Structure 1
Amino acid sequence: MMNSSVMRGVLRYLSPAAFAAACVMLISAVALFMQPYIGMADNGDFFRILYSNGLYFNDPNYNSQYLGFFVKNYGIYQYYNENGATLYSSQSLFIKASMYVNHIFHDAQNFDIRYQAMLYLVLYVIAVYLLVEALTWKISKKKGYLIAVIAIFILGDTGYTAYFNSFYSESVVLLMTVLLFAAGLLLYRKRYNDYVLLAVFVLSAIALTTSKQQNAPVGIITAVLGIFIIYIRKKRSYRIVTLISLFVMLGVGIGTYVLIPKEFVNINKYHAMTRGVLMDSVNPEKTLETFGINKQYAVLNGSLYYNPYASVDVNSKMLQDNFYSKYGFGSILSYYLSHPDQAGNMLNLAARDGFTIRPKAMGNYEQSVGKSFGAQTVFFSGYSLLKDALSPKTFGFIILWILIVLGLYTPAFVAAIRQRQWRSALRLPLIVMMILMGLSGIFVSIIGAGDADLSKHEFLFTLTFDLVSLLTVVDVLAKRLWNNEPINELETDES
């Protein structure tokens, strides 16, 4: 009885958004900071971001823990770091900040990754608060708490938060995507200051775009769809600032693509051919000839760039001149367009992994815990497990989902455009932006790297799917799919 009265007292003073943020913080803190600590094992990618930020692997048994076990402690270079940046990523900013906190409260020679997780979690709690505030704005408190519980079930899932105890860029992708969507929805609902929200929107888009090279299209997509944000206020200064911001986002997207290091270009191109085009081809030799490549290279079909015993040196000049130089993103895209059956097979392959939040290949526990190699936690993983088990694994389902969502929101968009209520029209472009961002994750993965590490490469899709689906469910519950909630209030004080 006392517990229920305490709960009623808490709910009386906590808004749904604050309740959701507090619960996500508590659940994630238990998973990340209480034994057994939950994190993500290294699949071999950590070195890309680790060395250039002044960290190194100091566990003598680290190599034996790849994929199987989470490692939380790393060494910090004390004098000279000869390693230059292997890639340019906004993730480095978060690593440097967490190293600074680690230096103050922990140790100058050893880095505990939980300080990074702490920084990410603080930002994530803020992002969850803003998103739930946008979802529950001007909704009854009873429905607001129901929406908060749904948000907790999805966004508090350890399939998402386990990334915070890792050096995967998916942590930044998660944070910035939620912040981007929240800022867009808050602009749409005229909640908080427009200039502040515009800044959050732009900075989130830039950080998301630069978090990994695969996200280069995000800057272009957000810049193009962000055009609608220009018109929500009539003030000239606001429109100039917004337009400049959109050009910056566009430039960042293009720049992120241009600055992809050649080493990673070759890795992705190798997999795009051997784990994509050739793997599903009926006649690999003939397929190679369509690209002007000697058919003898069909021996590479199905191989990985990292195979220790390869039939040819993947870094050799011979492969550079006779293989890598013969094709690119455009030619592979053209190939798939001219071979729709093969493209359909690859899209269905992508769909099978497109609803997996946490890749099955990486374990979540430290070796000292005594769990089996590659063991994964089930603590607060109900949503990720259900999603993986119940989601239809076909690209046709993704198309159907997109058509349903767009069909539900189009009438309100058309009505707002007809009445020239630009702020009210912002909701559908935001949804289209998120969908295109998610689809870019699928298409870039397939065309750029075949099926190599596909479930992790599609993280942006599975996240945007969840956020758009959450918004749709909320708008159904709130009965505001076909109205513009209300237009007059949204459009006041625009000058």
Structure 2
Amino acid sequence: MVIQQFKSKLKLGYSWFARHISPAQFAVILAALIIGWLLFVPPIHGYADNGDFYRVMYSNGLYHRLGQAYNHNAYVVQTYGIMRYFNEHQATLFSSQPLFVQLAIGLNKLFYSRTIFDIRFLGLVYYLFYLGALYLLTEALTFPAKRSQNYLVALAVVFVFADSSLTLYFNSLFAEPVMLLGMLYAFSAFLLLARGRYRRRWPLMLTFFVSVILLITVKQQNAPLALSFAIMSLALLALVQKRHNRLFIYLATLLVLGSGVATYMLITKDFNDINGYQTMTRGVLLKSKNPEKALSEGGIDRQFALLKGTTYYQNYMPLSTRSAYMQKNLIQRYNFTWVLKHYLRHPDEFSTMLNLVAKDGQLTQVKAVGDYVAASGQPKGAQTHYFTLYSTMMGAFFPRKFAFYVLYTFTLILVYAFSAYQGFKEHQPEMIMRFSFVVAATTIILGVMVVAIVGDGDADLAKHVFMVAITSDLLLLLLGSDIANHRLWQPIVSS
């Protein structure tokens, strides 16, 4: 009798909860509490500077405050000075990141100070956009089924994307938050369009294309992603019949491809030199059994084999990396095609490097920098383990072989290809569009790994393959939610 009464109250409680709080709202509430404590409750957490912050800092009118200790890698710096006069610093690279930084500076001036910038305002900007992204993501994964298991899907979304290894980026000047936001909004808008969640399509269409362009333009290494997102863009044609709507999609797809071309073309010479040098010393030469031969085969002086394993900024080099001799006889003697041909001629070396990058495929927490401010009392470089169970598990147990990523993605392609075939027969665009995302995701995961190796060797791999982990997580959530709602190989049905 007591058990029956307990079950009855439990059902009534769940019924009330389900009426008032949807799975998407549930995910946002949990994520807001988890992430908010990490970012805003003193002593705050974030990522310290690994040396990259200057690219964003000076071009956006920020500087290191006089008299304030600035420890690279060791501690998070909470406050920066805001330039009050003419800013002579030019942007070192073309990027969409300043849109978010300038919004944060504007809010900081409005509510806090016109001379001191608190990094929490940037964290707040990312935080609010991120909660919106998690709402749309959960809505996309759970619509239209009204089942209790969708609250488990919501918990899974929080477990994966409220992980601190991702949200620590918000209190930093790294570009990864824009990549994270762009990917989540693009995927969510795409899936919501496929599933017909809202009557008006144009806001989601706009969200998708704006998010994709922000993602592609935030970092020069994202330029090749334009090809992957073009696959998703063209899949939107399955939704529209009117000629002017189809024309809009074609033009928007061209804009996506154009953003990729522009991002690539606007890479500065300095960045090309840095990446090019490390592509050779931390890539081609790193795992070569005969580095002298590798160079001579490509028409480069064998003496440069002595640079094996060095980085562009390394001290005590036998010859300056910026010297005219180094430029003429090494850096300008090869390019992306040269490197790719070398790897294709030496598949064993290429395989070794791809396995090397696969080891970092799921490592989203930046290990080289601290996560605490100096006032926390934590030792230099200390890292938080608060709400990092998912990233820890993935880093420890996800197979670290490139071959596994190939097997994993192509298995999902086969699974969703059958679904797409059903969609063609039953005129269900949602099933076709899911397949297009899986194909695009495969090109992102595998393409990012190849480009990381061919474009910069093993230098700073964990950040260069950031999109691998994010895209893998979205694939897992999509598959899990489709299985939970019994729609893997059948069209969505309202319940």
Bin for the TM-score computed over the shorter chain:
over 0.9
Output one character per residue of 1:311-342: Cα deviation in whole Å (capped at 9) or x when no partner.
Answer: 11111111111111111111111111111100
- Check the 8 A contact 2:28/2:134 in 1, yes or no: yes
In structure 2, what is the Cα distance between the partners aligned to 1:343 and 1:82? 43
Residue from 329, 332, 336 that aligns with 1:329: 336
Matches within 5 A, 1:88-107: 88-107=94-113
Which stretch has the larger CA shift, 217-226 or 142-151?
217-226
Output one character per residue of 1:431-486: Cα deviation in whole Å (capped at 9) or x when no partner.
Answer: 22123223232122111000001011110111101111111111111111111225
- Check the 8 A contact 2:58/2:89 in 1, yes or no: yes
Matches within 5 A, 1:125-204: 125-192=131-198, 193-204=200-211
The residue number in structure 2 matching 1:21 is 28
Residue from 333, 341, 349 that aligns with 1:342: 349
- Check the 8 A contact 2:191/2:434 in 1, yes or no: yes
Output one character per residue of 1:129-178: Cα deviation in whole Å (capped at 9) or x when no partner.
Answer: 00100000022330110100011100111111100000110010011100
The residue number in structure 2 matching 1:255 is 262
- Check the 8 A contact 1:11/1:19 in 2, yes or no: no
Which stretch has the larger CA shift, 193-202 or 91-100?
193-202
Output one character per residue of 1:229-280: Cα deviation in whole Å (capped at 9) or x when no partner.
Answer: 1231101111111111011111111111011011001000011000000010
The residue number in structure 1 matching 2:3 is none
Alpha-carbon distance change, 6 to 81 in structure 1, aligned in 2, over 3 angstroms: farther
In structure 2, what is the Cα distance between the partners aligned to 1:150 and 1:8? 21
**Seq. identity, %:** 39
In structure 2, what is the Cα distance between the partners aligned to 1:417 and 1:334? 40
The reply on whether 1:316 has 2:331 as its aligned counterpart is no
The residue number in structure 2 matching 1:69 is 75
- SS of the aligned residue for 1:103 comes to helix
- Check the 8 A contact 1:16/1:141 in 2, yes or no: no
* Offset of residue 378 of structure 1: 1.1
Letter in 2 for 1:453: D
The residue number in structure 1 matching 2:314 is 307
Letter in 2 for 1:438: I
In structure 1, what is the Cα distance between the partners aligned to 2:121 and 2:368? 25
Letter in 1 for 2:230: A
Output one character per residue of 1:70-118: Cα deviation in whole Å (capped at 9) or x when no partner.
Answer: 1111111110111111011100100001000000011111110100110
Letter in 1 for 2:237: I
The residue number in structure 1 matching 2:244 is 237
In structure 2, what is the Cα distance between the partners aligned to 1:141 and 1:318? 67
Matches within 5 A, 1:286-297: 286-297=293-304
Q: How many residues align?
A: 485
The reply on whether 1:112 has 2:112 as its aligned counterpart is no
In structure 1, what is the Cα distance between the partners aligned to 2:208 and 2:33? 27
Matches within 5 A, 1:205-216: 205-216=212-223
In structure 2, what is the Cα distance between the partners aligned to 1:458 and 1:182? 21
In structure 2, what is the Cα distance between the partners aligned to 1:306 and 1:454? 16
In structure 1, what is the Cα distance between the partners aligned to 2:427 and 2:195? 16
The reply on whether 1:78 has 2:84 as its aligned counterpart is yes
In structure 2, what is the Cα distance between the partners aligned to 1:356 and 1:220? 25
Output one character per residue of 1:344-378: Cα deviation in whole Å (capped at 9) or x when no partner.
Answer: 00010001111101121121001221212211111
- Check the 8 A contact 2:144/2:197 in 1, yes or no: no
Output the aligned Cα RMSD.
Answer: 1.8
Alpha-carbon distance change, 60 to 464 in structure 1, aligned in 2, over 3 angstroms: farther
Alpha-carbon distance change, 59 to 374 in structure 1, aligned in 2, over 3 angstroms: farther
- Check the 8 A contact 1:176/1:205 in 2, yes or no: yes
In structure 1, what is the Cα distance between the partners aligned to 2:109 and 2:53? 21
Alpha-carbon distance change, 446 to 166 in structure 1, aligned in 2, over 3 angstroms: same
Residue from 194, 218, 226 that aligns with 2:233: 226
- SS of the aligned residue for 1:231 comes to helix
* Offset of residue 423 of structure 1: 4.2
Output one character per residue of 1:151-210: Cα deviation in whole Å (capped at 9) or x when no partner.
Answer: 110011111110000011001001110001001101110112221111111000100000
Letter in 1 for 2:161: L
The residue number in structure 2 matching 1:493 is none
The residue number in structure 2 matching 1:279 is 286
The residue number in structure 2 matching 1:430 is 437
The residue number in structure 2 matching 1:492 is none
In structure 2, what is the Cα distance between the partners aligned to 1:347 and 1:59? 44
- Check the 8 A contact 2:282/2:457 in 1, yes or no: yes
* Offset of residue 404 of structure 1: 2.1
* Offset of residue 8 of structure 1: 7.2
In structure 2, what is the Cα distance between the partners aligned to 1:281 and 1:182? 43
In structure 2, what is the Cα distance between the partners aligned to 1:6 and 1:109? 51
* Offset of residue 424 of structure 1: 3.2
For structure 1, list consecutive stretches of 5 or more residues without a partner in the other structure. 490-495
- Check the 8 A contact 1:205/1:218 in 2, yes or no: no
Which stretch has the larger CA shift, 276-285 or 305-314?
305-314
For structure 2, list consecutive stretches of 5 or more residues without a partner in the other structure. 1-5
The residue number in structure 2 matching 1:121 is 127
Alpha-carbon distance change, 6 to 101 in structure 1, aligned in 2, over 3 angstroms: farther
Q: Please report the TM-score for the alignment, with normalisation by the length of structure 1.
A: 0.95
In structure 2, what is the Cα distance between the partners aligned to 1:16 and 1:62? 45
The residue number in structure 2 matching 1:373 is 380
Runs ≥4 residues deviating over 3 A:
3-12, 59-63, 418-424
Alpha-carbon distance change, 144 to 59 in structure 1, aligned in 2, over 3 angstroms: farther
- Check the 8 A contact 2:185/2:211 in 1, yes or no: yes
The reply on whether 1:48 has 2:55 as its aligned counterpart is yes
In structure 1, what is the Cα distance between the partners aligned to 2:94 and 2:83? 20
